[in-house]
Amino acid sequence: MMTPEFWSIPDSTLTTAELAEKTSTLRHRLLSITEKFSDVRFATSLAAEDMVMTDAIAQSKAKIALFTLETGRLHQETVDMTKTTEDCYGISIARAYPEESDVQAFIDQYGMNGFYDGEEAKKACCGARKIKPLNAALIGADAWLTGQRREQSTTRVELNFEEHDDARGITKFNPLFDWTEEDIWAYIKQENVPIHPLHLKGYPSIGCEPCTRQVKKGEDIRAGRWWWLQSDSKECGLHVNK
């Protein structure tokens, strides 16, 4: 039986001038957000898009606070990547943890890995480990940022730069909404941005360990997220506004 060939970091045909223009636009977007809002926060997963955002925030010196969701089910590589990023940029990344009572309530109802049983259980797990901690981490903020891109999945094709997060009553920005996968990796290579170790092992998209797997070459880049569900269920609920 042949060993499958997994996704690998793509090459880019982007010229230096084209990348410079995109980089300038991204930094301008970040600074324009901080001019309009006083408490802006960025939720980073430490994956490629979010590392581009982190680098751009650091380079532009935009006043944006960073935090990450420590779900309790992350790969060790992701946990370690938080410290790597802090050391690289001389910044502090806040950790948002789930409430033990919420996690236990999920386990009592569905079992530790009950999310494999279907969409309802998956939403319940993400609710306890990701959504509630996100809500808590955004208390007091008047805007927050994501590393989402239109190209990532069918659920994001209409993504805009700015939108209103009705669920949390604040403005939400997606500064990379019009970037391609090639753009992301061209930036990372040029700016020498730290790379999450799992990207080098066939993981184009990274979430919790039991809900993320390697992606075969030619598969959709989010095929490894919640692979046992339909393609229209490849969101955890963080980016559902209502």
Spatial distance between the Cα atoms of 85 and 89, rounded to a whole number of angstroms:
6
Nearest to 23 by CA among 49, 58, 64, 56: 56
pLDDT at residue 233 is higher than 70: no
Quick one: three-class SS letters along 164-197? EECCCCEEEECCCCCCCHHHHHHHHHHHCCCCCH
pLDDT at residue 235 is higher than 60: no
Nearest to 48 by CA among 148, 165, 163: 148
Is-catalytic flag, 236? yes
What is the average per-residue pLDDT within 176-183?
Answer: 96
Number of other CB atoms surrounding residue 12 within 10 Å: 19
Q: pTM here?
A: 0.92
Q: Which CATH architecture has domain 16-233?
A: 3-Layer(aba) Sandwich (3.40)
Tokens of 105: 């309530």
Spatial distance between the Cα atoms of 165 and 167, rounded to a whole number of angstroms:
5
Q: Where are the domains of the chain?
A: 16-233
- Residue-wise pLDDT tens digits, 138-173: 999 999 999 999 987 666 678 999 999 999 999 999
Residue 152 has a pLDDT of 79
- Residue-wise pLDDT tens digits, 79-123: 999 999 999 999 999 999 999 999 999 999 999 999 999 999 999
What is the average per-residue pLDDT within 195-211?
Answer: 97
Of 58-67, 113-122, 219-228, least confident by mean pLDDT is: 219-228
